[in-house]
Structure 1
Amino acid sequence: MIDAHIHLDQYEEHMLAGLKDQGIEALIAVSMNLASSKRTRELAARYPGLVKPAYGFHPEQPLPAEDELDALLKWITDHADSMAAIGEIGLPYYSRAEAIARGGAWEMEPYLALLDRLLGLAAQLAMPVVLHAVYEDAWTVCDLLERHGLTQAHFHWFKGPAATVERMISRGYFISFTPDLLYEPEIQELARRYPPELVMAETDGPWPFEGPFAGRSTHPAMVHDVAAAWGALHGYSVPEAQALLTANTKRFYGLYG
C-alpha cells in the first residue's frame, strides 16, 4: 500500500528500512516549510521510488516573513519536476481555535493570503495540492480552489459538515483516512458516505493515535489497518480494500512508473 500523507522528515531514517517487507511500496511525504522541504527532498533522493515528496508550508505555525515565503516559492518552482504535489498547505483551524479559547485575537487574512499564493503557484505549475482544511475552513478552501481552477485536491484527515462534504464530492476532491477510523464514529460515518473512488489511506505520522494504537509509535504499515476498517464499512475484503485505496492514490498522484 501507499501511505498518502506522512511527515517523513520528522522520523529517524532507519524507519524506512524494511517497509517493502511490511507491504508499503511508497510514501507521500509532505513538508512543513522550506527547511522541511529540503529534508524531504534529500530523503526522496536517497530512496527513489519509495519517497514521493510534497513541498509546502503547514498553516498551523507562525506565518513566514515575506522573504522566507519568496524563497520557499522559488525553491518549490525550481524543484517542481521532482515533487508529487504542493503540500501540506491550508488554513490554521486548530491554532485559531486555541487562540480564541484563550481570549486572544486572531487575524485570518494573512493566512488566507498565504494560501492564495500557494494555490496560485500550484495552478501555475499544474500540481496537485495536499490540504489541511477542516470544519468551516474547508468551505473557504473550496472557494479558493475554484478561484484558481484547481481540481486535483487532497483533503487529508478531513472533518466537516454535510454541505461541505457534498460540495467536495461534487468537485471530485479526494480525502484520506487515518488510523482513527478504527475508533471514531464521526470518521466512520464520513467513510460510509464518501465515494470509494475518492478515498486514500494515510497515517499523518508521527502523529500518535488512540484506541488499539495507544502507546504505539505511528508507522506507515498502519495504513493496512485503515484499509481493513474502511473495507469492512463497504463490504470489501481486506485485499480488495487495500488494492482500491492504493489504486486511488496512484491515480491521484500519477504514480504509474
Structure 2
Amino acid sequence: MNMIDAHIHLDRYQDEEIKRMVLDSAHIEALISVSFHLNSCKKNLLLSQKYPKVKPAFGYHPEQTLPSENELNVLLNWMNDHRDEMIAVGEVGLPYYLRQEQGISIAPYLEVLDVFISKAKIWDKPIVLHAVYDDAPLVCDLLEKYSVSKAHFHWFKGEQKTIDRMIRNGYHISITPDVVYEQEIQQLVSVYPLELMMVETDGPWPFEGPFAGKMTHPNMMEESIRKISLLKKLSAEEVSDVLHQNTKGFYHITT
C-alpha cells in the first residue's frame, strides 16, 4: 500500500524517531506534519527542508491558551512569509476538550479561528481543523461564511446532522487507527463517503487495542485501511488507492 499520513505532529517526535520513520518507510509517500504554535511551525519547516516527504502545515492548535494579539500577529506574519512552503493552514480549530476541563469561554477562540479561515481563503490553502461534537457546527458556520470548501476535519466525531452538512459541503475527514477498535469511528466510516476520506495517525498520540504500548507510526494506517475496507465492503487495495488519491488531490501533492 502506498500511503500518506494526512495528519501527524512529526515535530513532537525525537530526531532519531523522525529519521527512521521517514527513511525506513518506503511505502509512506508523504507526511502532512501539522503545527502547534510558532516554534512548532519553524521545526516543521526545517523538517520539510531536510526530508522531502514532510509536507508542513502551519497554525496554532486550539487546545491551549490563546496567543496574545502580538504573538498571533507574529505567527500570521511568519506564515505569510512562508505561505509558499506550507501545504495547508493547520492545525487550528476550537478547544472542545480544554473547555470540558476548564470551562473557558469559546468566544475568543472563535475570533482567532475566524482569522485563520480568512487567511486560508486569501492564501488559497486547505485548512486542517480540530473541531469535534458541538464545536463542529460552529466551524462549519465560519467555513461557509468565507466559502471555504477545502476543509479537513481530522479525527472527527459528531452527530448525524453535522455529518450530513459536512458531506453536502464536500469537507474531508481523516480516520485514525482507533477505527480498528472504536465503534463510534466505525459508524462514522460506514456513513461518510470514501471519496471524502483520508487516513492519519495524529502521532505521537498513543492508541489502545492492538496498538497499546507501541509508538504511533504511520505503518499503523495499514490496519486502519483494512478495517475501512471491511466496513465499506471493498478490497483493501481499492480502499487504499482511493484514500491515497484523495489525499494527493486535496493537498496537491505531486511528489
* Offset at residue 20 of structure 1 (A): 5.7
* Offset at residue 240 of structure 1 (A): 1.8
* Offset at residue 232 of structure 1 (A): 1.2
Equivalent residue of 1:130, what SS?
A: strand
Paired residues for 1:216-255 under 5 Å: 216-255=214-253
Partners of 2:238 and 2:20 lie apart in 1 by 26
Equivalent residue of 1:205, what SS?
A: coil
Residue 79 of structure 1, aligned match among 73, 79, 82: 82
Equivalent residue of 1:82, what SS?
A: coil
Any conservation in 2 of the 1:19–1:25 contact (CA below 8 Å)?
no
Equivalent position of 1:88 in the other structure: 91
Aligned residues: 251
* Offset at residue 66 of structure 1 (A): 0.8
Residue 45 of structure 2, aligned match among 37, 41, 45: 41
Q: Deviations over 1:222-247 (max 9, x none)?
A: 11111111111112222222111111
Paired residues for 1:1-257 under 5 Å: 1-15=3-17, 16-17=19-20, 19=22, 21-22=24-25, 23-48=27-52, 50-100=53-103, 106-257=104-255
Partners of 2:114 and 2:31 lie apart in 1 by 27
Partners of 1:65 and 1:83 lie apart in 2 by 23
* Offset at residue 19 of structure 1 (A): 4.1
Partners of 2:224 and 2:75 lie apart in 1 by 33
Q: Cα–Cα, structure 1 residues 239 and 158, in superposed 2: closer, same or farther, change >3 Å? A: same
Give the letter for the 2:127 counterpart.
V
Which runs of structure 1 show a deviation greater than 6 angstroms over 4 or more consecutive aligned residues? none
Q: Deviations over 1:91-116 (max 9, x none)?
A: 0000001113xxxxx22111011101
Partners of 2:252 and 2:174 lie apart in 1 by 16
Any conservation in 2 of the 1:26–1:52 contact (CA below 8 Å)?
yes
Any conservation in 1 of the 2:62–2:92 contact (CA below 8 Å)?
yes
Partners of 2:122 and 2:184 lie apart in 1 by 36
Structure 1 regions of 5+ residues with no counterpart?
A: 101-105
Any conservation in 1 of the 2:22–2:51 contact (CA below 8 Å)?
no
The normalised TM-score by structure 2 is 0.96
Structure 2 regions of 5+ residues with no counterpart?
A: none
Q: Deviations over 1:156-186 (max 9, x none)?
A: 0000000000000000000000000000111
CA RMSD of aligned residues (A): 1.1
Moved more, 242-251 or 126-135: 242-251
Q: Cα–Cα, structure 1 residues 18 and 178, in superposed 2: closer, same or farther, change >3 Å? A: closer
Equivalent position of 1:103 in the other structure: none
Partners of 1:65 and 1:21 lie apart in 2 by 40
Partners of 2:61 and 2:170 lie apart in 1 by 23
Q: Deviations over 1:30-86 (max 9, x none)?
A: 0001010000000000012x0000000000000101110000000111101011100
